[in-house]
Structure 1
């Protein structure tokens, strides 16, 4: 583990990543400011097309994986070791029954400042993890608190 990842993990474990200015991944007021489903699109292009992304503010970086039961256990271990917050859900929102079981969705989240280099590095890592553990990367998102002028008026 390199020093930067170790410090980031230590801050997350000690609650430092949720200090002043850092969003809570479970905050319902967070909005998706960046979203990408095409793993070939560069992170700099994805960030550049987002008018809502605030490069000065930390974000909740979220990756979604389609997983089977064996992939779930194998994929969880390295992500948990790095301090990612993991959630599971269903693969689709469809209510139509199908003959084959729906894959589950594993959602990995962490809180950090993001830029094109950070997102490109993490995306590359996540694609590799998915391939090694029989999962499929569905895409990534960044969530931030809405800008003051974007918040709903009361």
Structure 2
């Protein structure tokens, strides 16, 4: 990357508002709910993911309601925010959210981590999706 490209990147980043899980206008740009599909294939088939921009990575989890606080504490150590989506019969459906740059390696690592965490706590990791603003800012 040339010096001019770096300067352009810095200027572009200064103009972009900070992305958060609550940024208005977020849309799903990639999703992985098939356990056998590689994360690299998920990102490769996405036509709307902008790889040079950060995204909200959102993991979908199902955990026993009594283990949600424990999961939240563990995930917060690495910058994840855990939000309850719904609760039914002692089970909580959750979203673990974090803003980050997406690439196949990190998506696969986080998918594995979420699966391990969910299994240890008696739950399940259902998959992940990534969100970016609908406009390219």
Answer yes or no: same fold by TM over 0.5. yes
Query: Any idea what SS the aligned residue of 1:56 has?
Result: coil
Question: Where does residue 10 of structure 1 map in the other structure?
Answer: none
* Structure 1 stretch displaced more, 20-29 or 35-44: 20-29
Q: TM-score, normalised by structure 1?
A: 0.72
| Partner Cα distance (1:117, 1:34) in 2 | 15
**Are the aligned partners of 1:61 and 1:110 in contact in 2 as well (CA < 8 Å)?**
yes
Aligned residue pairs, count: 123
Which ranges in structure 1 are unaligned for 5 or more consecutive residues? 1-18, 92-99
User: Where in structure 1 do 4 or more consecutive aligned residues deviate above 6 Å?
Assistant: none
Question: Where does residue 3 of structure 1 map in the other structure?
Answer: none
Correspondence for 1:40 among 26, 36, 45 = 36
| Partner Cα distance (1:31, 1:121) in 2 | 23
Query: Any idea what SS the aligned residue of 2:108 has?
Result: helix
Shift of 1:81: 1.7
Pick the structure with more strand per residue. Answer: 2
**Are the aligned partners of 1:22 and 1:111 in contact in 2 as well (CA < 8 Å)?**
no
Correspondence for 2:124 among 119, 133, 136 = 136
**Are the aligned partners of 1:21 and 1:58 in contact in 2 as well (CA < 8 Å)?**
no
Correspondence for 2:99 among 103, 111, 119 = 111
Question: Could you list the per-position Cα deviations for residues 38-89 of structure 1 after superposition, in whole angstroms to 9, with x for gaps in the alignment?
Answer: 2331100111111001111100001111111222133222101222112102
Correspondence for 2:23 among 21, 27, 32 = 27
| Partner Cα distance (1:128, 1:104) in 2 | 17
**Are the aligned partners of 1:68 and 1:103 in contact in 2 as well (CA < 8 Å)?**
yes
Q: Structure 1 pair 119/21, CA: closer, same or farther in 2 (3 Å)? A: farther
Q: Does 1:127 align with 2:123?
A: no
Aligned-residue Cα RMSD (Å) equals 2.1
Q: TM-score, normalised by structure 2?
A: 0.80
Correspondence for 2:48 among 47, 52, 73 = 52
